[in-house]
Structure 1
Amino acid sequence: MGGKQHCLTVGVEEEFLLTDPVTGAPAPKNAEVAASAKRAGIDLQLELTRCQVETSSRVHSVIGELLDELRTTRRRVADCAAGHDAGLLAVAVPPTVPEQFPVTETPRYQRIAHTFGMIAHEQGLCGCHVHVGVPDRETAVLVGNYVRPWLPVLLATTANSAIYRGSETGYASWRSILWRRWPSAGPPPYLPALADYEAIVAMMRASGAILDNKMVYWDIRPSESFPTVEVRVSDVPATAEESALLAALIRGIVTMGLRSIAAGEPPAMVSGEMLRAAYWNAARFGLDGNGLDLVACRVVPHHDLLTQLIRSVEPALAESEDLEFVTRAVAALSGRGNGARRQVAALRARGDIGDVVAELAGATLEGCG
């Protein structure tokens, strides 16, 4: 795994669920775990519910170095959680869950809970956000149009939320279905310019659909905190290697998109209706089912769409020296399955939700030493 210094920079944020180590039930201990992590030199973000924490990687040019950090951080945060009698799970919805989650006691999160009611209290949803460095916010909006058609494939690849409340949901990514209840979440619109993005955001704020710009939950957005385009479509992947794979693919798409912008080549025009249909297929069937080729308008297995994606960004992957890693990681993923397949297999083996929790706990620290 290489990554030359002139390649675009990339960073990853992973959200994790804190659980009771015996029952697998969500454990409202994020403040305690974050305090321990702080003493260990790790800054954890508190998420909407007290059962979640979020890690943020440093900025990287080399995917191999990013993977090393993701693995180290997962292990260290898991150790901090264990110190408070909690497990750390890379899972996008809790396999076993109470009716409501306690909301983190910060003024902003309490205001969100008051405004949005049960949507906030039924959260516990964990995603993965990939940031790729771009020159400015205008560029972030424009390059997002080139990423947009690939979002369903990225979702299918990382799907990791098949079990909820102790039962199969029938979906590979139930998080994606639940997440879209928020008025500002899901597939982004096609945006001709930054001014169009800002106009829609201003309208959502004026209407009360969002309380601030950080509540723009579209799956692509210009980051409010960093000079990056932020891609937010993914479930938190089961393993650190899958998160690094996701980052490599997204950096490849953004790299090729920037080249298309420079060459005056327009992005594929995909309607919102077709994109939502492709999202549903990705959420329902995951990597092992069929998806939609949004350019050719045909039904294609998601594995074939992933191969198509890799071919389309191969020049960028070769230049960043990520092609070998991506090829190997996809082959491993196809063999063992993503988080969704692993969850379902664990539950069907004996019908014991404890087996699902154990499988997820193992995957969370797979390769982490």
Structure 2
Amino acid sequence: MIAAHSPADVRAAVLTARTRGLRVAVRATGHGTFADPSPDTLVVDTSSMRSVLVDPDRRTARVGPGATAADVVAAAAPFGLAPVTGTDGTVGLTGFTLGGGHGFLARKHGLAADNLLRADLVTADGELLTTRADRRSELFWALRGAGGNFGVATSLEIQLHPVTHVFGGVARFDRGLASHLLQRFAEYAMPDELNVSIVVERGAVAVRGVYAGGADDAWRALTPLFLEEPFEDTFRVMPYAETFTIGGTAPRHFDLLREVPVDALLDVAECADAVEVKRWGGAIARGTSPAGHRHVPFSVTVDGEQPLREQVTGGTFLNFCKDPARTHSAYTRVCLNRLLELKHAYDPENVFGVGHALVVTNAARELAA
């Protein structure tokens, strides 16, 4: 392992790996989903590169690869701004963004990948490149959803949004309402500001998430999902930083859904700690980066041994993909073809092939055909 404190250190580490015939993996905050690297892999530790520089006039932030979501939120908050983040403040914002980045603000402001403005990275040949929409635009496109495959990011510039407070929390209802609540959720045309999910737990069914706006509008948006009085309700106005306390579901199994199969979901919930159904859409569906399958309206996350085997699309989302063998299914056919071409151009020897590698396999050929 080599500890990197600067882009020059990252470049030196990549060149060292190439000289020794090693692959390269990155460790920043420790949330990466790749397994322990093999002896032929050099790990570049970027955890000390935690700088966050906010430009309040442009509503942007320059973020080091070791900075966590909480670091960026804390730096942006004094200016009345916030980034798109996930549910855990200890997750590195760089890996989160390059993997797609679904979070509470995503239906309103797009995935984290859609809010990437610039990326600096060291490529497989040791070159330090800058990419943005008007500079190496093809590589920039690829980084917004499959970024770990093309180099080691040394800095990101991201868009911030004028968000100081949101209305968020969890409301729990009698478990017997699960079927009705899932059906209502499937039919409800939620405003983009509302990003809540339905979570079927062992002894309850919950509405969990955030409304990106004020309390009055939030209650109007939530009312169709409150079929009766909850026995627990923590929804309130909160600083954006407190959304990290709302919680999430461990993604032991994650799949995308074209519809909400209520009976099948309840069957799986019988032997799981939690089954969470999210609605995508909104600004997510309007983005152009390769992250995820944007046209798919729902997803299911199962914290349990048994995945939902029917009614799933077969697609996944890179941030939630626990099985590296499913990496290719995180993209549409058109995006996968384009990504494989770019992978061959920028990393033909698969130097950055630890974990979610874009390599030409039989499975990849079938998906891309």
* Fold shared by both chains (TM-score > 0.5): no
Select the structure that is richer in strand: 2
Answer 1 or 2: higher relative contact order, Cα 8 Å, separation at least 6. 1
Select the structure that is richer in helix: 1
- TM-score normalised over the length of structure 2: 0.28
